[in-house]
Amino acid sequence: MSTNEQMKNPILTVENVSKSFTKKYAKIPAVDGVNLSVAAGEVLGLVGESGSGKSTLARLITGMIKPDTGKIIMDGKNINDIKNKKSKAMLSNIQMVFQDAYSSFDGRMKIGDSIGEFLDNHYKMSREMKREKTIELLDKVGLSPEHANRIPGQLSGGQCQRAAIARAISTNPKILVCDEATSALDVSVQAQIMELLERLRQDLDIGFLFISHDLPLVNCFAHRMAVMYEGKILETGTPEKIINDPKFEYTQKLVSAGRY
Amino acid sequence: MNPKKQVLAVKDLSVEYRQKVLRQISFEVYKGEILGLVGESGSGKSSLIRAVTGLLNEGGKVTEGEVLFHGTEILGLQKDKLRSIRGNEIATVFQNPAGFLNPTRKIRKHFIETVRSHEKTSKIDACSRALSIFEKLDLKDGKRILDSYPFELSGGMNQRVAIALSMVLEPDLLLADEPTSALDLTIQDQVIDEFLRLRDVLGTAIVIVTHNMGVVAKAADRVGVVYDGEIVEIGDANKILKDPLHPYTIGLMDSVPTYKNKKIKSIPLKNDDVKRPVEGCRFAPRCTYASERCFKEKQILRKNQEDHYCRCMRVEEINVNK
Ligand SMILES: Nc1ncnc2c1ncn2[C@@H]1O[C@H](COP(=O)(O)OP(=O)(O)OP(=O)(O)O)[C@@H](O)[C@H]1O
Ligand SMILES: Nc1ncnc2c1ncn2[C@@H]1O[C@H](COP(=O)(O)OP(=O)(O)OP(=O)(O)O)[C@@H](O)[C@H]1O
Ligand code: SF4
Ligand SMILES: [Mg+2]
Ligand SMILES: [Mg+2]
């Protein structure tokens, strides 16, 4: 993917966002003064140490939790303003593939019904249309209609992750947050999913926040990347620049661990 | 030198849910050896790990074959007998650590229960053992971790907690299903070092299921490649990584992203669980080398060279022209 595409105005902006958790005797600054932006059709890769706050940042961006300080602006609107919060359009514009695919589904509900319920929240559709759309989505991620009739526990790790991707792309979001979205896939299916995401990016101009610990993979897909460490963004730049000339010790370690 | 001591032997193991998912799987693991298992998503790797420990998901059953642990058949054992072997002598890291850890219990409780169900020891001792393993796995802030519920920890933290739980009783056999999928690369290296240390110091036999070829390269002595419920290639890890023989394995290697290989290719896809020819090679519908005979003749695992076996009748032709 070329890195010198014309970058448009950011569609998502994270402004000086912090979030901490308190645990009895200690305060955990999970996200600490983070700034970043994603333009339409742009892929921002996010790598970083385990526990550095990537998933917390993802949950902040999708509005699941609120920042202590700072703003998250989507399409010019603060997502945590009451009047914007109620808007369905706002919600369907940011979608997420969760790190733990199994628990992002209702464990007692068939996959097809989960996706159907999701479609209900965003569109008016007849039962047949929903069924058709669900099967089409599953097919895109390499699953068969039969998988729609299973509960999450009856799918393999990678099949469940792909069902989560199918659900997230069902509303044609403007921003797709992928939190380790291909970590349970074999490399061949991973390549196929990456082809799908790249096609969606080109056709629909979706912007991605692509969280992954797989630096070589981020290098394939991202236009820019950010390195997170202990709640802060250490450095940002093109993957090429960061891989060839990492500025921080952590990034240097990460880059050399990714060589094989 | 002593002859190698066999720890696990799986013989002709078949498993089915509503559909067949494992077809006569056979392999052995010896003391002090690490076997890596790679393969397609949905090919049956997790089912294999679960079947070996008698913990198949609801609806799953073993339809043929046997599992020998230190030479003793264990699939037919009484439930409580199996339970005492499990955890103590055979430990498992499941693919989905968040789902396996009890969400209503602090991590501390998990360790206390695991250790004390097999040994008479104090709670303090159980926790200090946990802390010392955390440190080796680069899990910082150990006291806070023990005091946390799983939902208060990140994906990679929970994964290392699950690994630490599997190591705490120093098992003879460790089965780890995608144990590093949520770890960043620097920590992944450290976790692998800990697996290697266990193998070197205690002679633990280890099976690691992984999608990560880097993990295979760093940890595995031998590799098995699973496709659609069958082992299609197995043998010495160096040989298979350097010179894969089976068309599926060859395709898999081409899909690995590296800093240089940015154009990752997928093996042209068919839907999972699609009806395929039952008689011939199960990879034939996707194989660029498939001939008419491939669709008709059942393929067997044949020796190609010392400790390198492949389930493909055209392997010699293909690898001459490669
Ligand atoms: N609900 C919570 N209560 C208390 N602490 C939390 C909570 N959620 C997250 N944390 C803490 O915040 C920090 C950041 O966690 P987060 O899940 O964002 O990390 P991450 O970068 O996604 O890590 P990984 O790569 O391992 O998934 C961790 O120290 C974690 O323990
Ligand atoms: N409880 C169940 N009921 C029905 N089918 C199941 C059940 N559990 C698993 N399966 C099916 O069995 C096959 C093998 O699943 P398994 O979880 O063993 O695959 P895997 O190789 O571990 O895949 P992954 O790499 O994606 O984790 C899959 O097609 C899956 O859909
Ligand atoms: S037996 Fe035939 S179809 Fe199967 S892998 Fe070999 S060449 Fe391909
Ligand atoms: Mg995370
Ligand atoms: Mg699995």
Average pLDDT over residues B73-100: 87
Q: Give me the pLDDT at residue B1, please.
A: 47
Q: What percent of chain B is modeled with pLDDT above 90?
A: 75
**In the 8-state DSSP scheme, what is residue A63?**
T
* H or E stretch covering A225: strand A224-229
Contacts of A185 (CB under 8 A, 6+ apart): A158, A161, A162, A193, B41, B211
Kindly state the tokens that stand for B206: 């280890």
- Residue A198 CA neighbour count, 13 Å, CB half: 16
Among A39, A45, A85, smallest CA distance to A62 is for: A85
Q: Could you give the CA distance from residue B195 to residue A138 in angstroms, rounded to a whole number?
A: 37
Q: Residue B276 pLDDT more than 60?
A: no
Return d(Cα B294, Cα B284) in angstroms, integer: 6
d(CA B182, CA A100): 10
Report the separation in Å between the CA atom of A59 and the middle of ligand 1, taken as the mean of its atom positions.
11
Which residues on neighbouring strands pair with residue B9, listed in sequence order?
B28, B68
Nearest residue in chain A measured CA to CA from B103: A103
Euclidean distance between CA atoms A160 and A155, whole angstroms: 6
Q: What is the distance in angstroms between the Cα of A133 and the nearest Cα belonging to chain B?
A: 17
The residues with which B90 forms a beta bridge, in sequence order, are: B86, B173
Phi, psi for residue B113 in degrees, rounded to 5: -65, -45
pLDDT band for position B268 (cuts 50, 70, 90): confident
List ligand 1's pocket residues with C-beta within 6 A: A 21, 23, 28, 30, 48, 50-56, 99; B 151-157, 182
Q: Which of A112-116, A130-134, B99-103 has the lowest mean pLDDT?
A: B99-103
Q: What is the pLDDT of residues B126-178, one digit of tens each?
A: 999 999 999 999 998 999 999 999 999 999 999 999 999 999 999 999 999 99
**Which range, of B2-11, B20-29, B234-243, B305-314, averages the lowest pLDDT?**
B2-11
When pLDDT is cut at 50, 70 and 90, the band that residue B265 belongs to is confident
Confidence check: pLDDT of A194 > 90: yes
In the predicted model, what is the mean pLDDT of chain B? 91
Q: Tell me which of B232, B278, B289, B317 to substitute to probe ligand 3's pocket, judged by most ligand atoms within 8 Å of the beta carbon.
A: B289
Interface touch B181/A184, C-beta < 8 Å:
yes
**Would the pTM of this model clear 0.90, i.e. be above it?**
yes
Q: Do B182 and A47 touch (CB under 8 A)?
A: no
pLDDT for B78 equals 85
Angle between helix A157-169 and helix A111-122 axes, rounded to 10 deg: 20
* pLDDT tens column, A211-236: 999 999 999 999 999 999 999 999 99
* DSSP code string of A71-134: EEEETTEETTSHHHHT-HHHHHHEEEE-SSTGGGS-TTS-HHHHHHHHHHHH----HHHHHHHH
Domains and their CATH numbers in chain A: 1-93+174-260 (3.40.50.300), 107-172 (no CATH)
Q: pLDDT per residue over A236-256, tens digit each?
A: 999 999 999 999 999 999 999
Q: Which residue has the higher pLDDT, B107 or A6?
A: B107
On chain B, the residues whose CB falls within 8 A of the CB of A184 are 41, 95, 178, 181, 211
Count CB atoms within 10 A of the CB of residue B236. 16
pLDDT at B318: 87
Sequence-distant (≥ 6) Cβ neighbours of residue B54 within 8 angstroms: B74, B75, B77, B82, B86
Give residue A4's pLDDT.
44
**Can you give the pLDDT at residue A92?**
79
- Outline where DSSP puts E strands in B94-202: 173-177
Name the residue with tokens 């039969």: A146
Question: Which of B 60-79 lie inside 8 A of A, CB atoms?
Answer: none
A/B interface, count of CB pairs below 8 Å: 167
Residue A218 tokens read as 């981020």
What would you measure as the largest C-alpha separation in chain B, in angstroms?
66
Distance, first Cα to last Cα, chain A = 22
Contact between B301 and B286 (Cβ < 8 Å): no
Which element (helix H / strand E) includes A236? strand A232-237
Instruction: Answer yes or no: do B181 and A21 touch at CB < 8 A.
Output: no
Portion 282-311 of B in contact with A at CB < 8 A: none
The two three-digit tokens of residue B243, written as one number = 């010179």
Does residue B273 have a pLDDT over 50? no
What pLDDT does residue A7 have? 56
